[in-house]
Structure 1
Amino acid sequence: MIASTFAEVLSIGAVLPFLSVLVKPQMVFNHPAAQPVISALEITEPRGLLLPITAFFCIVVVGATVTRLALMLAQTRFGAALATDFSIAAYNRTLFQPYATHVSKNSSEVIAGVNKAGHLGEALVTPCLVILSSSFLLATILALLVWAQPIVAISAFGGFGLIYAGITLLARHRLAAEGQVINRESGRMIKALQEGLGGIRDVLIDGSQHVYTGLFRGSVAPLHHSSANILIISQSPRYAVEGLGVVLVAIITFFLASRGEGFYDAIPILGGLVVGAQRMLPAIQQAYSSFTFLRGRLPLTADALSVLEQPLPAFAQQPPPAPIPFKRTIRLDGLRFRYTIERPWVLDGLDLTIKRGEMVGFVGVTGAGKSTLIDIIMGLLEPTEGSLLVDGERISTDNQRAWQAHISHVPQAIYLADGTIAENIAFGVLPHEIDFGRVKVAARMAQIADTIEAWDSKYDTAVGERGVRLSGGQRQRIGIARALYKRADVIILDEATSALDNETEQSVMAAIDGFGAEVTIIMIAHRLTSLRNCDRLVELANGRIERIGSYSEIVENAVAISGH
């Protein structure tokens, strides 16, 4: 910015001797300040100044142009680099938020927040840099022109400044309103896209494309309309100033020519003012456009900053911890949980001990609290009251990562990334770090190796986005293989065999049953038959433990109740 400003001022200052040499070379030739140059270049007559002054003027102008270009490149790249940092920081902080925070937010809201953070470079940093550099340049050039011709410079540029200041005052409320629209509708647009594309099968079957197109149109139309209004407000003063500028130049020319010195004496001064205006007016327009853009994006900026201000847990910047000792038991001690203080208890006074190497199944009707209990055991949710204890050590935010190092989770709905089979089995592992031997062992144990190895690309087969190229049973077995790849000693199966046929389920359960006493299995299932291999079943009802017993005892009780 300093180099660019210096070059601009030098280019304006070079106009005066250049024009003076053109119209009155004798005056410049006789000027005391020019004598060292004249002597050094051995110039003997006034017209001999024309070539060196012209060359100097051209070099200065080219230098100013180069520095302006360098400033633009530096500002743009700096803004892009910061935008990258903002995006990464926003995504990182979002990923580290507690599970309770994620389940309380709509995914489109989260994606929109991260996306807004990525636009902070262009919405906040770049406009501020442009305003700063333009203000610095304007102040320096104006000081130079005021020094040369104070009355003319102040009169000319005071008029330009009043135009911009007036429009800024008139448009400030409109800019705030349009910014609110952009901020609100950008989130709604992402939501419409996500819902329409996320449910594409139902959309195609139901023929409801027009519904989601309408939702998208309802967001994208006002969004672009408000963006256009902000652009109009930011660009409109330029046209008024361009027209007024011609009038002012004419008036200044008349004023200078009317003085006793005559028109030729006025040409250098007029040329300096014209060049100064040619440099200043774009700077004024840039500063004003950046200000209106910044003002119009303030709501978006506030949302993006709120994402960047999300707290990071203490372990976020630390390497993965070593697993805490787990040799004996997982214990629930007086466990109670509810999501908010206004909502009822989901779990209410649970006391249960699970031994290492035990296979425990949880059953109960929908809403009994099974999934919430599993989330607490996995350290995703903290108990509202009571404790989760592992070998007597209470699990909290300080050691939850060390406890989670023991756990693999197989949910009912398996998330598959748009990658290869191997990448999905070794989910969360960089491709070049995948242990293909472990991938194959895990696939065999999950009873899907024969299927994969029958495909042309085998473990390099692409699964498609969300696994659309695989059947439900194949997706679920890949999810089981993923848990097995981790080699965890606590495996949580949340309706993990619901999409498998009876024969495959029995094969998978037989493989799981063969893990031995070193692996603890915790299962949720609606079908009692899925839990036949469990050592114990725990029946939940209304957030409490209704009964605990063997598979046969729970089945007999269920039959008795049904018969009664």
Structure 2
Amino acid sequence: MFSIIKELFGLLRSRQRKRIYVLQVLVILMTFAEIAGVAGLGAFMALIADVDAISGEGFYGKLYQLTGFSAPDSFIVGVGSGVLAILLLGAMLSVITTWRLSLLGQAIGVELSDRLYQHYLHQPWLFHTKNHSSFLINKIAGETGRITNSVIIPLLQVNAKVVFAVFMLLTVFIFNPLVATLGVLIFGTAYLVLYRSVGRLLINNGVAISEANAARHKLMSEGFGGIKDVLLLGRQMDFMERYHLTGQDLARANAINTTIGNVPRYLMEVVAFGAVIVLVIYLVKVQQGNMTKILPVLAMYALAGFKLLPAFQAIYLNVSIIKSGIPAFEIMKKDLECSQEEDFLASAASIAPPARHPVRDSIALRNVTFTYPGKPSPVLSNLNLIIPVNKTVGIVGSSGSGKSTTIDLLLGLILPDQGQLLIDEQPLAPTQVRLWQNVLGFVPQSIFLADGTIAENIAFGLPKDQIDYPRVQRAIELAHLDKLVEQLKDGINTRVGERGVQLSGGQRQRIGIARALYHDAEVLILDEATSSLDGVTEKLIMDAIQDFSGKKTIIMIAHRLATVKSCDIIYFMDRGSVLDQGTYDELLERNVMFRKMALHA
């Protein structure tokens, strides 16, 4: 466990480690204030047991003369008030220390979550095709929360309690080595035996909690994401039953961990009371029943025990929590290591850099071969195509011919295994991909719409105060959305509902086109953007797109060949390569397969 904690500490950024070191000063101050309170109470009880010492020549007599109290009663009240003030100071420092430890722990947790979110957002497209979004969300929100509340904060609490316990035991040891040694042996052995007996169970429960959380996130994502199908197929109870079963596993594991953490407290109370009884018998025998000597010693030991027992219990409880939280860290360790060197704030400032990679003459894929990871054969093989600037180019072919992969290559979302993406006959370097993407506008078959306003969805991803509303209005006009917006009471501030549920298919697609035009895209890429629309709506969308013919470079994938009929060039793909190319009429005349597709369109 300690090696894993060391790894976690090493994954923190330097500023967080410095804050932990600085906080140790506050922990030590709290400890000394607590020890001073215990020692002060012992001294006060010694004074109460022997009031005559005030008039003697000893410590209390000299202190009485030095403070200038007029009567012994006033001196006793003053000493008592001083001890109470020290105890109050110790309590205040304990509260402040606990608050600062919790604040630091939560701040570290937020930073880890930020780092993971940034890390996942910057992963390439292929990473996201292999990782379910609910799995990533569970890591960012669920497992990071577990690391925070089940590892980081308990670790900081353990550190504080261990420092306190060591110094308090050292004080007791100086006062009476035998009592301190026996106390450490009795309580240390008892807690160690308990911890050893439940360690494996805590780890197994930690794994069960991680698995249950991941399963519940996945069920929620699929249940709400496919809510229409869930309602139509009547699958509510199927989802609910699986969610309930994983919830039972989660509840059982959490309940066992809570019980393991708290049960020892009751056993230790019995041990503590037994130790007090033995201590009283020992003191009575050693001091021969002299209560003047017994009372202050007993009071100091009792208060020290009163302080130490909760500290021991807190150490055991938090170590148990850490043990059950370690599986969450094990799941996240690799991703946290990868994100350690990434600067969240610097990346946040460069989400949408204004620089572009302009295209003046042509876009080309030359001798491109691409194979998806884990697949035996390439999806694209020696692919060649050229897209002239300000021309409308169609890419057609049967399902599985490689059309969408070709688009992903043109978008810079994936890189070819062999061959090159050329811009004006110059290879696009990996460092230029972001600049190239700033030139592109992409309209997929299914437009993702957030539960926000029309304006927020057109300027997707930008905060409200950074949206250029005149530019939004211009994009709306270009996408032929202006008539729809004029009919809405709140205009561009109308909320569209989750995933645009309050809009028709055609309206969603036009918002997608407007989104592509918001940043004044030079190249529009449409991946079957009209395939799910009816003929009338498709014509309206195509009319909007044709308005840019000759002004922008347009690349279209389509199943329905009528959609690409007016394209300047059509590339006909089959089995990952270009089988033929030409205008619609040329391909219809000379290519049998193209003609068959046109007849069945």
By the TM > 0.5 criterion, same fold? yes
* Corresponding residue of 1:479: 512
* Cα offsets for 1:349-392 (capped at 9, x unmatched): 01111111111111111111111110011000010111111123
* Corresponding residue of 1:94: 120
Match of 1:246 among 267, 270, 273: 273
CA RMSD of aligned residues (A): 2.1
Matches of 2:349 and 2:466, distance apart in 1? 20
Q: Please give the secondary structure, in 2, of the residue aligned with 1:290.
A: helix
Task: Tell me if 1:287 matches 2:315.
Answer: yes
After superposition, residues 154-233 of structure 1 pair within 5 angstroms as: 154-233=181-260
Cα deviation for residue 450 of structure 1 reads 0.7
Change (3 A) 1:169 1:31: farther
Q: Please give the secondary structure, in 2, of the residue aligned with 1:526.
A: coil
Match of 1:302 among 327, 330, 349: 330
Cα deviation for residue 435 of structure 1 reads 2.0
After superposition, residues 247-326 of structure 1 pair within 5 angstroms as: 247-264=274-291, 265-310=293-338, 316=347, 319=350, 320=353, 322-326=355-359
In 1, are the aligned partners of 2:53 and 2:60 still within 8 Å (CA)? no
Change (3 A) 1:10 1:254: same
Matches of 2:64 and 2:54, distance apart in 1? 10
In 1, are the aligned partners of 2:124 and 2:413 still within 8 Å (CA)? yes
Cα deviation for residue 516 of structure 1 reads 5.0
* Cα offsets for 1:390-446 (capped at 9, x unmatched): 123322431110111111100001000000011111112221222222222222222
* Corresponding residue of 2:92: 66
Letter in 2 for 1:371: S
Matches of 2:104 and 2:389, distance apart in 1? 54
Task: Tell me if 1:9 matches 2:42.
Answer: no
Letter in 2 for 1:112: N
Change (3 A) 1:206 1:503: closer
* Corresponding residue of 1:555: 588
Of 418-427 and 108-117, deviating more is: 108-117
Matches of 1:57 and 1:266, distance apart in 2? 20
Q: Please give the secondary structure, in 1, of the residue aligned with 2:394.
A: strand
Matches of 1:410 and 1:474, distance apart in 2? 13
Of 330-339 and 507-516, deviating more is: 507-516
Q: Please give the secondary structure, in 1, of the residue aligned with 2:526.
A: strand
* Corresponding residue of 1:131: 158
Task: Tell me if 1:462 matches 2:488.
Answer: no
Cα deviation for residue 154 of structure 1 reads 2.0
After TM superposition, the score normalised by the length of structure 1 is 0.96
Matches of 2:556 and 2:287, distance apart in 1? 101
Matches of 2:445 and 2:319, distance apart in 1? 51
Change (3 A) 1:263 1:216: farther
Of 22-31 and 322-331, deviating more is: 22-31
Match of 2:180 among 145, 148, 153: 153
After superposition, residues 94-113 of structure 1 pair within 5 angstroms as: 94-113=120-139
Cα deviation for residue 29 of structure 1 reads 5.1
Matches of 1:313 and 1:233, distance apart in 2? 39
In 2, are the aligned partners of 1:25 and 1:49 still within 8 Å (CA)? no
Of 69-78 and 214-223, deviating more is: 214-223
In 2, are the aligned partners of 1:388 and 1:394 still within 8 Å (CA)? yes
* Cα offsets for 1:151-202 (capped at 9, x unmatched): 1232234211111110111111111111111111111110111111111111
In 2, are the aligned partners of 1:183 and 1:300 still within 8 Å (CA)? yes
Cα deviation for residue 53 of structure 1 reads 1.3
Match of 2:443 among 410, 423, 434: 410
Change (3 A) 1:29 1:364: farther
Matches of 1:394 and 1:560, distance apart in 2? 35
Change (3 A) 1:512 1:204: closer
Q: Please give the secondary structure, in 1, of the residue aligned with 2:192.
A: helix
Matches of 2:158 and 2:315, distance apart in 1? 5
Cα deviation for residue 6 of structure 1 reads 0.9
Match of 1:328 among 352, 358, 361: 361
Cα deviation for residue 261 of structure 1 reads 4.2
Cα deviation for residue 204 of structure 1 reads 1.3
Of 216-225 and 381-390, deviating more is: 216-225
Of 274-283 and 509-518, deviating more is: 509-518
Letter in 1 for 2:268: V
* Corresponding residue of 1:27: 53
Matches of 1:73 and 1:560, distance apart in 2? 74
Structure 2, unaligned runs of 5 or more: 1-26
* Corresponding residue of 1:421: 454
Of 378-387 and 425-434, deviating more is: 425-434
* Cα offsets for 1:464-503 (capped at 9, x unmatched): 1111111112111111111111211011101112244434
* Corresponding residue of 2:14: none
In 2, are the aligned partners of 1:447 and 1:504 still within 8 Å (CA)? no
Letter in 1 for 2:125: Y
Letter in 2 for 1:333: R
Matches of 1:263 and 1:521, distance apart in 2? 101
Change (3 A) 1:34 1:367: same
Percent of residue pairs identical:
32
* Corresponding residue of 2:480: 447
Task: Tell me if 1:514 matches 2:541.
Answer: no
Matches of 1:90 and 1:223, distance apart in 2? 24
Change (3 A) 1:329 1:117: same
* Corresponding residue of 1:120: 147
Structure 1, unaligned runs of 5 or more: none
* Corresponding residue of 2:261: 234
* Corresponding residue of 1:531: 564
Matches of 2:348 and 2:481, distance apart in 1? 37
Matches of 2:542 and 2:370, distance apart in 1? 31
* Corresponding residue of 1:384: 417
Q: Please give the secondary structure, in 2, of the residue aligned with 1:140.
A: helix
In 2, are the aligned partners of 1:445 and 1:508 still within 8 Å (CA)? no
In 2, are the aligned partners of 1:83 and 1:119 still within 8 Å (CA)? no
Matches of 2:101 and 2:121, distance apart in 1? 30
Q: Please give the secondary structure, in 1, of the residue aligned with 2:431.
A: coil
Cα deviation for residue 292 of structure 1 reads 0.6
Would you say how many aligned residue pairs link Structure 1 and Structure 2? Answer: 564
Cα deviation for residue 47 of structure 1 reads 4.5
Cα deviation for residue 263 of structure 1 reads 4.1
